[in-house]
Amino acid sequence: MNLLAAVTIPDVAIFVLSAALSLAGAVGILLAKNPVHAALSLVMTLFGIAVAFIELQADFLAAVQIIVYAGAIVVLFLFVIMFLGVDKREDLSVEPIVGQRSTAAVLVLGLMASIIALGFIGHFEVGPASQTAELTGGAGNVADLGRAVFTTYLFAFEATAGLLVIAVIGAVVLARKPEAKATAAVVEEGEQ
Amino acid sequence: MSIPLSWFIVLAVVLFGIGAFGVLIRRNVLIMFMCVELMLNAANLALVGFSRSLHDVGGEATVFFVLVVAAAEVVVGLGIVVAIFRRRQSAIADDLAELGG
């Protein structure tokens, strides 16, 4: 079976664009001295992954990716960076622990190599994919996803509602100011 | 699907690796957090790729839930960063070493 037979030039162009965007953004996060620049690089990576989702015909997820990640999560990051005033440059030339970077590089390269090697030499039993119909793209994909979320995954969907409420309450409890009238010792005890 | 699944998996692996490397080498808590988001996104990309190649919408539904969990995680995590910053005036992970006892 020739895998590359069906690959068309526009598909390759879109894939290369998404890979370039996401990898450039990822390296940007790694090398950014200023947290604000890292957050902007994160937007670039998330956009590149949204392009990859469109190439995979997961249109709804691409839109959600932009709205939730680029729209909400990165804005939250930027808000906290500016709220705390930590947007100063960090000196990356000194290694905090001797050998930290080389050890991390060896570990991560070993991880990546072993995952890719497993993918090529491993044989995975994935069930009868060919017997089911191919996933639809476009509006059909949104309908399929909605049907799955509200039938098969209904319990998980309801559980996420509880999770979000808990997260909001947790964030308010964590980030609120300690009460002014309490003494320093009481604040020490009461605030975990 | 015209682009082979393996291309997306390799891209996801490389993105995950960069994210893991960032968590290991960066000292700023906020940037470590962004690298965790990068790793989550790499996993999402692999899930959507497998979902498409196995003709099963379950992978895409999982990505939907991962997005929700990531949003909740960021909210709580940034709340913790704000709470730590109130006490230590610092967002550098090394300054919190006394948490180790």
Q: Which of A44-48, A140-144, A164-168 bottoms out in mean pLDDT, i.e. has the lowest?
A: A140-144
Instruction: Please list every residue in chain B whose beta carbon sits closer than 8 Å to the beta carbon of residue A46.
Output: 41
Average pLDDT, chain B: 86
In CATH, the number for domain B5-100 is 1.10.287.3510
Secondary structure of residue B92 in the 3-state scheme: strand
pTM of the full structure: 0.85
For residues A109 and A172, give the distance between their C-alpha atoms in angstroms, rounded to a whole number: 39
Would you give the DSSP letter of residue B96?
Answer: G
Closest CB from A26, A55, A81 relative to B15: A26
Tell me: the pLDDT tens digits for A79-119? 988 888 776 777 777 777 778 888 889 999 999 999 888 88
CATH number where A47 lies: 1.20.120.1200
Q: Would you mind telling me the total number of residues written for chain A in this entry?
A: 192
For residue A37, tell me if it sits in a domain. Answer: yes
**58-117 in A: which are within 8 Å (CB) of B?**
58, 60-61, 64-65, 68-69, 72-73, 76-77, 80-81, 83-84, 86, 90, 96, 100-101, 103-105, 107-109, 111-112, 115-116
Phi-psi map region of A85: left, alpha, beta (phi>0 left; psi -120 to 50 alpha): left
For residue A103, tell me if it sits in a domain. Answer: no
CA A135 to chain centre: 24
Domain span at residue A19? Answer: 7-90+136-180
* Interchain CB distance below 8 Å, B37 and A164: no
Tell me: the pLDDT tens digits for B38-72? 999 999 999 999 888 888 888 899 999 999 999 99
* Domain count across chain A: 1
Q: Is B45 on the interface with A (CB under 8 A)?
A: yes
Tell me the domain boundaries of chain B.
5-100
Q: Which residues contact A5 (CB under 8 A, 6 or more apart)?
A: none
